[in-house]
Chains A and B, each alone.
Chain A
Amino acid sequence: DAKTTQPTSMDCAEGRAANLPCNHSTISGNEYVYWYRQIHSQGPQYIIHGLKNNETNEMASLIITEDRKSSTLILPHATLRDTAVYYCIVRFLYNQGGKLIFGQGTELSVKP
């Protein structure tokens, strides 16, 4: 699976959009971009995933660049409860063993 690079930490004001970038320059054609988040001392929570088209659900939007070498997770109106570590993971949809390998992630702090 391709490796990802994320900023270590970011701050965001409550009510504003949080834009979390992820670089995955070695992504292959069949690999998807997944986002999970982990609130302190809890298990990770699935947010969204996509291949090449932009995706939106009730939690967030995922913008993938045309060359697929980077993506941005957007939380449109961040709240204090969105404070968490956000993980960008690249993997095949049905990869061998279905393993999710976590990098270091971005620690997002939403401030009042």
Chain B
Amino acid sequence: GAVVSQHPSRVICKSGTSVKIECRSLDFQATTMFWYRQFPKQSLMLMATSNEGSKATYEQGVEKDKFLINHASLTLSTLTVTSAHPEDSSFYICSARQGANSYEQYFGPGTRLTVT
């Protein structure tokens, strides 16, 4: 099956710094990528949808200036958490879809962010 990778798998950063998380589709071209956030004992919450070459669409309540998403190529999307705070500590998961007419969505392994 299709593989989606994320890097890093774990990151610890200091409050006020920015951290970038990469999401890559390894064996297919992802026209659409999705970013989710998951707090402990909770379900996945969709943050934003990004289409290659265009601006991301953010879900209600998600600050686009804080969570910068770039989908510059068909195999790479990045999520940058700017000016991170301890409350941004979470499990961030990306997902990729191959094309507009593809129903399958493949998930990455997740990135554990801890802000100290």
Residues on A lying within 8 angstroms of B by beta carbon are 32, 38, 41-46, 49, 85, 87, 93-94, 97-105
With the chains together, A4 CA to B6 CA distance in Å? 29
- Contact of B60 with A by CB under 8 A: no
Q: Are A102 and B97 in contact (CB under 8 A)?
A: no
Majority SS at the chain B contact face: strand
Of the candidates B32, B43, B100, B109, which one forms a contact with A43 in the assembled complex, judged by CB atoms under 8 Å apart?
Answer: B109
Of the candidates B32, B46, B105, which one forms a contact with A46 in the assembled complex, judged by CB atoms under 8 Å apart?
Answer: B105
With the chains together, A100 CA to B91 CA distance in Å? 17
With the chains together, A106 CA to B91 CA distance in Å? 19
| Known pairs A94-B100, A94-B101; A46 contacts B95 (CB<8 A) | no
**Residues of B contacting A45 in the complex (Cβ-Cβ under 8 angstroms):** 107
- Contact of B49 with A by CB under 8 A: yes
| Known pairs A41-B91, A46-B104, A105-B43; A98 contacts B109 (CB<8 A) | no
The minimal Cβ–Cβ distance linking B52 to chain A, given in whole angstroms, is 13
The minimal Cβ–Cβ distance linking A38 to chain B, given in whole angstroms, is 8
The minimal Cβ–Cβ distance linking A59 to chain B, given in whole angstroms, is 12
- Contact of B34 with A by CB under 8 A: yes
**Residues of A contacting B110 in the complex (Cβ-Cβ under 8 angstroms):** 41-43
Majority SS at the chain A contact face: loop
Q: What is the interface residue range for chain B against chain A?
A: 20 to 34
**Residues of A contacting B97 in the complex (Cβ-Cβ under 8 angstroms):** 98
By beta carbon, the residue of chain B nearest A97 is B49
The minimal Cβ–Cβ distance linking B11 to chain A, given in whole angstroms, is 14
**Residues of A contacting B91 in the complex (Cβ-Cβ under 8 angstroms):** 41
With the chains together, A85 CA to B110 CA distance in Å? 16
Q: Are B105 and A100 in contact (CB under 8 A)?
A: yes
- Contact of B83 with A by CB under 8 A: no
By beta carbon, the residue of chain A nearest B42 is A104
**Residues of A contacting B101 in the complex (Cβ-Cβ under 8 angstroms):** 94
Q: Are B43 and A46 in contact (CB under 8 A)?
A: no
The proximity string for B residues 102-116 relative to A, scoring 1 for CB distances below 8 Å and 0 otherwise, is: 011111111010000
